[in-house]
């Protein structure tokens, strides 16, 4: 489609939004777009429909078919309501839980979602204020709901908002419900199909009555309460980065017995504009800078954060030189699972039916820790809906210890089916207390794990290729890697190729091909070298980029050699990337 035709199409679509079925505020916003001689924003707002994907919606807020607004959110809700009424038509009363984060318009969207569900005869449990995403997952299970929605865009910039849809088990939907829901949402082609008029009798406000059992269940995860009491005065800096973490995490830490939690007052303020950070993402050093400054000021050795919807955790530790270092997502998951497995061993609770879960791009060191302690380790695709799928399939037969992914998410419990920073922050403090009992801080514990189970170093690299030509280039890159896999990386022969597009695992030394056991295919390619390195390549499903996940093994002669080993591993990774042609 040429530019002139595209503009004409966008103008036609926009003019339909000037009709009486749209509210005055929306009509005024669309008219301003049409009147602006610069048509860039008009085109971006109307050139396509905001896609309801397998996880829901996410996009920039504003008027238009490609924006988060009451009409696109309304269509998604009406479609989901129609699907629920079909799936659960034999139930006397379908129910859903609805929550939201601190973002601009989040409360407005959540109330509208509740109104539409109720207008369709569905009972709604609506939180009285913003809450962590994992608590919505908890509420679905706790209240026996058939579905749930949380209005959140996680750690995206302030211009964004989103819509996360859950199924009856508290997990994000997978097949067949994801595909079927998308079909029902796509069938909503007119505003007139959306039932906006609420039935107040079907909307029940919830809050403390769900907070209390949720926090009590999280407290029940504690494996070392005596250590928590012994180190109750340990200095811990925590920041919610303007998000919902302040609603429950301070309370949770108090219940676990930690009395010396140091605030970052400016970031306790719940604000969807995230005024003190460039991006409210705890994996970025910039977002943690105020908390690190507070740690330096107070002498705290542990800094923790949660992202705006409180499902992901950020961790900073102090090294031997007194410098504060971010712990990466792989290391966070590794520390959690090392603790959970080791502590269960110490307590004599390992009976042989325990398991943990990690995503295929998360560090293989976790598998070594698990197997050495008679614990199974299952791999799954990226995203907590796949971790939840493993949990669903093993429920009642094997005991879940924990699961996580390299993108800073961890789940220590079964009463939630999404990553949970409320339990993760609480448990990380317990791990620090448990380590202190053994004469270590978290930095030293990390080195201890590597010394015991072998050192690995990970790095993620995203190569951005915007536009149609960029998309074509990404397709060509994947095709080339499949047809011409590297023979060696960093001087070590590539011995195994795993292609999740056809679920073939190929041994390049013997030519033997085995089928991998995964619930569906995915456009992911992995190379494993003789030296134990793992390289994963995956195009993003939501952004114009291709992601490279590099994990290398490096011999670590002793604990004292940790920093030198890190430097050697970084050079090792640089060479792998150079061999792949990634800049």
- Pairing state between β 525-529 and 513-515: unpaired
- The Cα–Cα gap between 168 and 218 comes to 21
Of the candidate CATH numbers 3.40.120.10, 3.50.50.60, 3.20.20.70, 3.20.20.30, the domain formed by 48-206 belongs to 3.40.120.10
Confidence at residue 550, expressed as pLDDT on a 0 to 100 scale: 98
Confidence at residue 542, expressed as pLDDT on a 0 to 100 scale: 63
- The Cα–Cα gap between 453 and 188 comes to 53
| Per-residue pLDDT reduced to its tens digit, 531-560 | 999 999 999 866 789 999 999 999 999 999
Give which of 112, 97, 105, 208 is closest to 152, Cα–Cα: 105
User: Quick one: 484 exposed, middle or buried, by C-beta within 10 A (0-12, 13-18, 19+)?
Assistant: exposed
User: Quick one: 338 exposed, middle or buried, by C-beta within 10 A (0-12, 13-18, 19+)?
Assistant: buried
- Pairing state between β 313-318 and 160-167: unpaired
- The Cα–Cα gap between 17 and 12 comes to 9
Specify the pTM.
0.96
- Pairing state between β 504-507 and 513-515: antiparallel
CA angle 99, 103, 108 (to 5 degrees): 60
Q: Please, which residues have CB within 8 angstroms of residue 563's CB and are 6 or more apart in sequence? A: none
Token output for 92: 């006397």
Give which of 202, 179, 185, 170 is closest to 80, Cα–Cα: 185
Q: Spell out a b/e string for 549-580, using b for 16 or more CB atoms within 10 Å of the CB, else e.
A: bbbbbbebeeeebbeebeebbeebbeebbebb
Q: Report the topology of domain 214-319.
A: Alpha-D-Glucose-1,6-Bisphosphate; Chain A, domain 3 (3.40.120)
Give which of 124, 285, 142, 243 is closest to 195, Cα–Cα: 124
Active site includes 222?
A: no
Distances (CA, A) of 478 to 66, 460, 526, 538: 28, 17, 11, 8
In the block, residue with structure tokens 């290398």: 552
- The Cα–Cα gap between 389 and 494 comes to 31
Of the candidate CATH numbers 3.30.390, 2.60.40, 3.30.2000, 3.30.310, the domain formed by 456-580 belongs to 3.30.310
Strands (E), 374-491: 376-380, 399-405, 409-411, 456-464, 488-489
- Helix (H) or strand (E) holding 418, with range, is none
Confidence at residue 507, expressed as pLDDT on a 0 to 100 scale: 97
From the list 95, 137, 154, 224, the catalytic residue is 154
- The Cα–Cα gap between 358 and 402 comes to 9
Domains 214-319 and 329-437 share a fold: yes
User: Quick one: 38 exposed, middle or buried, by C-beta within 10 A (0-12, 13-18, 19+)?
Assistant: exposed
Ranges in the chain, pLDDT < 70: 1, 541-542
- The Cα–Cα gap between 559 and 549 comes to 26
Give which of 240, 282, 279, 287 is closest to 261, Cα–Cα: 240
C-alpha distance across the termini of the chain, in Å: 32
Q: Say whether the peptide bond before residue 170 is cis (omega within 30 degrees of 0).
A: no
- On whether the CB atoms of residues 438 and 430 are closer than 8 A, the answer is no
Domain boundaries, the chain: 1-44, 48-206, 214-319, 329-437, 456-580
Give which of 422, 550, 446 is closest to 136, Cα–Cα: 422
Confidence at residue 465, expressed as pLDDT on a 0 to 100 scale: 86
Confidence at residue 469, expressed as pLDDT on a 0 to 100 scale: 79
- The Cα–Cα gap between 166 and 147 comes to 5
Q: Does domain 329-437 match CATH 2.30.30.240?
A: no
């Amino acid at each position: 489609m040429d530019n002139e035709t595209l503009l004409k199409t966008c103008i036609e679509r926009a003019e339909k939004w000037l009709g009486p079925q749209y509210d005055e505020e929306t009509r005024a916003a669309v008219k301003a777009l049409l009147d602006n001689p610069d048509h860039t924003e008009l085109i971006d707002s109307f050139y396509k429909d905001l896609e309801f994907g397998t996880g829901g919606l996410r996009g920039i807020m504003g008027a238009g078919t490609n924006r988060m607004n009451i009409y696109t959110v309304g269509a998604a809700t009406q479609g989901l309501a129609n699907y629920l009424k079909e799936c659960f038509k034999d139930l006397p009363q379908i129910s859903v839980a609805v929550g939201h984060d601190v973002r601009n318009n989040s409360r407005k969207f959540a109330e509208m979602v509740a109104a539409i569900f109720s207008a369709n005869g569905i009972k709604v449990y609506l939180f009285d204020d913003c809450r962590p995403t994992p608590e919505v997952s908890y509420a679905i299970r706790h209240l026996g709901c058939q579905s749930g929605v949380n209005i959140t865009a996680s750690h995206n910039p302030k211009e964004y908002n989103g819509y996360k849809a859950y199924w009856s088990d508290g997990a994000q939907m997978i097949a067949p419900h994801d595909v079927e829901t998308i079909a029902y949402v796509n069938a909503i082609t007119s505003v007139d199909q959306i039932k906006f008029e609420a039935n107040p009798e079907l909307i029940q406000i919830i809050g403390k009555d769900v907070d209390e059992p949720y926090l009590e269940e999280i407290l029940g995860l504690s494996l070392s309460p005596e250590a928590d009491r012994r180190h109750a005065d340990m200095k811990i800096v925590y920041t919610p980065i303007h998000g919902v973490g302040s609603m429950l995490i301070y309370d949770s830490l108090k219940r676990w017995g930690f009395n010396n939690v140091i605030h970052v007052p400016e970031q306790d303020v719940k604000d969807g504009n995230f005024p003190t950070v460039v991006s409210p993402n705890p994996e970025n050093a910039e977002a943690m800078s105020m908390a690190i400054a507070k740690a330096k000021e107070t002498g705290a050795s542990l800094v923790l954060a949660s992202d705006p919807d409180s499902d992901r955790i950020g961790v900073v530790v102090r090294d031997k030189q007194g410098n504060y270092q971010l712990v990466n997502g792989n290391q966070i998951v590794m520390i959690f699972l090392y603790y959970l497995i080791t502590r269960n061993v110490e307590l004599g609770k390992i009976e042989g039916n325990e398991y943990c879960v990690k995503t295929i791009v998360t560090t293989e060191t976790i598998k070594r820790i698990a197997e050495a302690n008679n614990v199974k380790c299952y791999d799954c695709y990226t995203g907590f809906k796949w971790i939840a799928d493993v949990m669903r399939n093993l429920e009642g037969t094997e005991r879940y210890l924990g699961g996580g992914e390299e993108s800073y998410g961890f789940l220590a419990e079964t009463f939630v089916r999404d990553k949970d920073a409320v339990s993760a922050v609480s448990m990380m403090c317990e791990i620090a207390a448990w380590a202190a009992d053994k004469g270590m801080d978290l930095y030293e514990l990390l080195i201890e794990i590597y010394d015991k189970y072998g050192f690995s170093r990970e790095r993620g690299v995203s190569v951005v290729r915007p536009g149609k030509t960029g998309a074509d280039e990404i397709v060509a890159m994947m095709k080339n890697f499949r047809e011409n896999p590297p023979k060696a990386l960093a001087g070590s022969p590539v011995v195994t190729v795993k292609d999740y597009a056809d679920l073939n695992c190929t041994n390049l030394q013997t030519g033997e091909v085995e089928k991998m056991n995964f619930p569906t295919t995915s456009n992911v390619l992995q190379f494993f070298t003789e030296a134990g390195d793992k390289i994963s390549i995956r195009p993003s499903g939501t952004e114009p980029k291709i992601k490279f996940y590099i994990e290398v093994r490096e011999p670590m002669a002793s604990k004292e050699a940790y920093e030198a080993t890190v430097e050697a591993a970084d050079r090792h990774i640089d060479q792998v990337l150079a061999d792949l042609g990634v800049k």
